[in-house]
Chains A and B, each alone.
Chain A
């Protein structure tokens, strides 16, 4: 296992080492000490390795991640796993705003709460938040799923495209063009798969979730509106 202590090792050097990893690298397990809220830790990794970060991280941790399994043993600042392509990012604490923003793939699991704009513009990433999410989560969400075991703040799913939203707790309000939809067997299977991947197999009743998605009135062109253009 490679151990990097950021108290005496620059972030840029750590990221450069992670970027240089080959697909068949033997350095498959990294442990990063003393993150002390620094930004851009383990950004842009593209290798099948595990990276444990021992403490709270700053902005954009594990951004643009491909393949890697990144575990943050603390809270994450803004934009954790933003633009993730694949892999698995696990925040043991809370995440600040815009967690998983514009992510294209992979799984982001947040054990605590996520602040505003969680999953904004998500494009295929799956996000499981075991606590609650703040306002404007899944704003303009295009694809992927956002699963919230707690509550959701104002205007969830505003201007949503085809992402799936599942919330177990209270939803403060739905955003424009976001509506409640029935949970079919296909959705139950998806929810089960995501909860299992997030390590929440037992004790969670799939039936306690409600599903939200697009009413498809906002992003479809209506010929009646032709005069408006």
Chain B
């Protein structure tokens, strides 16, 4: 995946992030927490173990730590971390881990040692900020719910109004970022009973502006483009894998790409790929 995102550096050099769908353990949730460099993760773990009442397995990579906690204690753990100013929950799920920081892809990929991670699938993004500041919070992916994340290429024009509406429905936002609003919109629709496909289709009417969204799920990923198709997208498929890229240069190092079926997803159509 690093070889997919690094060639895209010139399209977006300011922040990089990725979601990895790794292995799961029955009954446990992975909570990815970002902390300031001086933060003492081991004392946070002992404090959290008071809540979970079982030892917490944790893996730290640079500024991010993935905690494996009993699924039933997630709400309490999140509530505890939310009170700590120098720690932020980036996302959670049975399998999803999210890592993101300000910096060029090559640098961020190296900081987190992406090459050493394994999983069934993942989503990577490199950002050129347009609608909001270059901050780690503004980096993609944004989480849209357990094991779900969203990356966005484009720019939404009604994100302020939509953010206000979503806040009135009880959602909370960390940034002024338009893509976070898109993620919040999906979260809200799914909470209301929509399937992810329905939520993506609803975004075609509710979100104004231009976008290609890629949404990662526990079992696969989805792609949707705005009806005008302002932003590029390319897919490649073989018997063994399916891949999305903003342009073909992101896909050239994939194994067997020379014989892959390479095609462009059409506008305003929700696509999904799921593992069996």
A residues with a Cβ closer than 8 A to B are 36-38, 55-56, 58-59, 74-75, 77-78, 93-94, 96-97, 115-116, 134-135
Give which listed residue, B249, B262, B267, contacts A58 with CB less than 8 A.
B249
Residues of B within 8 A of A77 (CB): 232, 247-248
Q: Mark B240-256, 1 if CB is under 8 A from A, else 0.
A: 00000001110110000
Minimum Cβ distance to chain A for residue B237 (Å):
13
- Taking A37-B252, A96-B234, A135-B229 as given, write out 13 further A-B residue pairs in contact, using a Cβ cutoff of 8 Å, ordered by the A residue number: A37-B247, A58-B249, A74-B262, A75-B248, A77-B232, A78-B232, A94-B262, A96-B232, A96-B264, A97-B229, A115-B266, A134-B266, A134-B267
Cα A55 to Cα B262 in complex, Å, equals: 11
Select B229's contact among A75, A93, A94, A134, beta carbons within 8 Å: A134
Please determine whether B262 and A75 come into contact, CB atoms closer than 8 angstroms.
Answer: yes
From known contacts A36-B249, A58-B248, infer whether A135 and B232 are also in contact, taking CB-CB under 8 Å: no
Do B229 and A36 touch across chains, with their CB atoms under 8 A apart? no
B247 touches A116 (CB 8 A): no
**Contact indicator B252/A94 (Cβ below 8 Å):** no
Shortest distance between the CB of A7 and any CB in chain B (Å): 11
Residues on the B chain within 8 Å of A116, using CB = 228-229, 267
Contact of A115 among B229, B251, B262 (CB under 8 A): B229
Q: Which of B228, B232, B264 contacts A94 (CB 8 A)?
A: B264
* B173 contact set on A, CB distance < 8 A: none
Instruction: Write out the residue numbers on chain B whose beta carbons fall within 8 Å of the beta carbon of A36.
Output: 248-249, 252
Nearest CB on A from B259, distance (A): 12
Interface mask (B122-153 → A, CB under 8 Å = 1, otherwise 0): 00000000000000000000000000000000
Looking at the complex, which one of A74, A78, A135 makes contact with B267 (CB distance below 8 Å)? Answer: A135
B273 at the interface (CB under 8 A from A): no
A-B contact count (CB 8 A): 45
Determine if A38 and B249 form an interchain contact, defined as CB atoms under 8 angstroms apart.
yes
Q: Residue on B with the closest CB to A36? A: B252
Q: Which residue of B lies closest to A132 (CB)?
A: B266
- A58 vs B251: C-alpha distance in the bound complex, in angstroms? 12
Q: Which residues of B contact A94 (CB under 8 A)?
A: 262-264
Complex A-B, nearest 8 residue pairs according to Cβ-Cβ distance, in ascending order: A37-B248, A37-B249, A36-B252, A116-B229, A56-B248, A115-B264, A75-B262, A37-B252
Specify which chain B residues have a CB less than 8 angstroms from the CB of A115 in the assembled complex. Answer: 229, 264, 266
A55 to B251, CA, bound (A): 13
A56 partner residues in chain B, CB cutoff 8 A: 248, 262
Give every chain B residue within 8 A of A74 (Cβ-Cβ): 262
Q: How many Å lie between the Cα of A133 and that of B247 in the bound state?
A: 19
Expressed in whole angstroms, the Cα–Cα distance for A38 and B264 within the complex equals 17
Quick one: CB contact mask for B71-108 with A, threshold 8 Å, 1 for yes? 00000000000000000000000000000000000000
CB distance from B227 to the nearest CB of A (A): 8
Residue numbers in A under 8 Å from B263 (CB-CB): 75, 94
A74 to B234, CA, bound (A): 14
**Set of chain A residues within 8 Å of B258, measured between Cβ atoms:** 55
Closest to B262 in A: A75
A74 to B193, CA, bound (A): 43
Closest partner residue, chain B, to A116 (CB atom): B229
Bound-complex Cα distance A96 to B232 (A)? 9
Q: How far is the CA of A114 from the CA of B263 in the complex (A)?
A: 10
- A96–B267 Cα gap in the complex (Å)? 12
Nearest-neighbour CB distance to chain A for B244, whole angstroms, equals: 14
Contact pattern, B 214-230, Cβ under 8 Å of A = 1, otherwise 0: 00000000000000110
Could you pull out 12 A-B pairs where Cβ atoms are within 8 angstroms?
Answer: A37-B248, A37-B252, A56-B262, A75-B248, A75-B263, A94-B263, A96-B232, A97-B232, A115-B266, A134-B266, A134-B267, A135-B228
